[in-house]
Amino acid sequence: MNSFEYMQPNNLESASKFLVKNNSSYAFAGGTDILGLIKDDIVAPKQLVNLKKINSLNFIRHDNENGLSIGALTKLSDIENNEIVRTKFSLLSQAISEVATLQLRNVGTIGGNICQRPRCFYFRGDFDCIRKGGDTCFALTGNNKYHCIVGGGPCYIVHPSDSAVALLALNAKFKIFNGKDETVIPAKDFFVLPDVDDMKENILKDGEILTEIIIPNPNTETVSKYIKVKERGAWDFALVSIAGVFNIKNKKILDGKITFGGVAPIPWEEETLNAKLKNISIDEKSINQLSDSAFNKTDALEMNSYKIPLAKNLIKKLLLEI
Ligand SMILES: Cc1cc2nc3c(=O)[nH]c(=O)nc-3n(C[C@H](O)[C@H](O)[C@H](O)COP(=O)(O)OP(=O)(O)OC[C@H]3O[C@@H](n4cnc5c(N)ncnc54)[C@H](O)[C@@H]3O)c2cc1C
Ligand code: SF4
C-alpha cells in the first residue's frame, strides 16, 4: 500500500480543488470500495479526499413538486429505511436492500455505490489489463462467466451497482459539481461504455463530484419491482438483475421502463423492449412477446451465454409478479 496525503475538507469547493490538483487524487466516501482498491494496489492515490465532513451532501428531501432528492453522501441504509423512499420510491429501497450486507450498507454511500469500480477478478487481481492501462483483456480468453453480454469491447465488465439499475428505471437525474458550477444530467448519460472510455465507468472528470440524485415523483398508478439473481443465497453481486416501473390500469401497462444489471458495462436498457411497453395487456401472450423481443442481439462470451435466457426469463417473472 502506498503512502498518501489524507485531506478532510468541509466544503465542496475545497474538496474539488484537492481532487483536481493532483490527477491521482481519489474521493473517499464510505471507503468500502476505495480502501480495498488501495490495499490491493489496484489504485495508488497521492491524495485521498474524505468527503464525509461535507454535511451538505447528507440528506433525503421530498416534495410533491420536485420529487425525491438524495445527497450523494447519504448512507445506503438511511435511504433503504426512509419512510418516503419505502412507500413512494420502493424500487430504490428494494434495490438497495440487495446491496452487499447490512454492515456495508451502514457505511457505504449512494454516491460511492454509483461510482464504485468494477468487480472483474482480473481488474481486482494482479493483471495489467486494458482497464488498468494495459493492452489485453484477460477475460476475453479467460474466465468470462460473470462478464457482459451486451455493450462490451474492448473491456467486458458488468456495472456492479444495484442502486444504479433502479435509478435508471426511475428516470433519475444526477447533479455534478465541477469546482465552480453544478450541472444536472439524466442518469443514463452518466455511465460510459468501454468503447467510449475503457478506463472509466462514468463521465466524471478530475475534480468533479457527484453531489445529488434527483428522482421525479411517480404517478399514483405506478407499480415497481426489483429482482436480483445471485449465484448464492447470501450477499453477492448480480448475475442478472432487473428493475421495472410501470403505470398500470385495468391489467394494462399504459407505459413503463425496464432496466437490467449484470448484463452490460453500464446499467442497461433494451430499447426494443421498452418501446413495446405502451398500452399492452398483461397476459401470457404479450408477456412471451415482450420476453422474446429482448437480448436477441448479444455478444455473449464463451462462458456467459446462460445470461441470455436468464434475462429473458426475468422479464417474464417481473411482469407476472407485477
Ligand atoms: C463484500 C462486498 C460486497 C458488495 N456487494 C455489492 C452488491 O451486491 N451490490 C452493490 O451494488 N454493491 C456491492 N458492493 C459495493 C458497495 O456497495 C460499495 O462498496 C459501496 O456502495 C461504495 O460506497 P462507499 O461510500 O463506501 O464508496 P467509496 O469506497 O468511498 O468510493 C467508491 C468509489 O466512488 C468514488 N466516489 C465516492 N463518492 C463519490 C462522489 N460523491 N463523487 C464522485 N466519486 C465518488 C470514490 O473515489 C471511489 O472510486 C459490495 C462491496 C463489498 C466490499
Ligand atoms: S473485462 Fe475489463 S476489467 Fe476485466 S480483464 Fe477485461 S479489460 Fe480488464
The string of pLDDT tens digits covering residues 52-104 is 999 999 999 999 999 999 999 999 999 999 999 999 999 999 999 999 999 99
Main-chain dihedrals φ then ψ at residue 206, nearest 5 degrees: -50, 130
Cβ of 148 below 6 Å from ligand 2: no
Please write the tens of the pLDDT for every residue from 310-322.
999 999 999 999 9
58-115+158-215 in CATH: which number? 3.30.465.10
For the chain, residues classed under CATH 3.30.465.10 are 58-115+158-215
With a cut of 80, say whether residue 123 has pLDDT above it. Answer: yes
With a cut of 90, say whether residue 186 has pLDDT above it. Answer: yes
Q: How far apart, in whole angstroms, are the C-alpha atoms of residue 38 and residue 77?
A: 24
Q: What is the mean pLDDT of the chain?
A: 96
User: Which ligand 1 atom is at minimum distance from the Cα of 36?
Assistant: 53
Query: 131 alpha carbon to ligand 2 midpoint, in Å?
Result: 6
> Which of the listed CATH numbers 3.90.1150.10, 3.30.390.50, 3.40.630.30, 2.40.50.140 matches domain 222-321?
3.30.390.50
User: Which ligand 2 atom is at minimum distance from the Cα of 142?
Assistant: 5
Q: Hey, whose CA ends up nearest to atom 1 of ligand 2?
A: 156
Please write the tens of the pLDDT for every residue from 227-254.
999 999 889 999 999 999 999 998 899 9
Question: Is there a cis peptide before residue 9, judged by omega within 30 degrees of 0?
Answer: no
Please write the tens of the pLDDT for every residue from 160-174.
999 999 999 999 999
pLDDT at 222: 93
Nearest to 160 by CA among 213, 85, 99: 99
Q: Hey, whose CA ends up nearest to atom 50 of ligand 1?
A: 100
Q: Hey, whose CA ends up nearest to atom 2 of ligand 2?
A: 155
The C-alpha cell at 72 is 450523494
For the chain, residues classed under CATH 3.30.390.50 are 222-321
Q: How far apart, in whole angstroms, are the C-alpha atoms of residue 160 and residue 118?
A: 6
With a cut of 80, say whether residue 23 has pLDDT above it. Answer: no
With a cut of 80, say whether residue 22 has pLDDT above it. Answer: no
The C-alpha cell at 209 is 463530484
The answer for residues whose C-beta is within 8 angstroms of residue 59's C-beta and 6 or more apart is 69, 70, 71, 74
Nearest to 227 by CA among 251, 199, 262, 197: 262
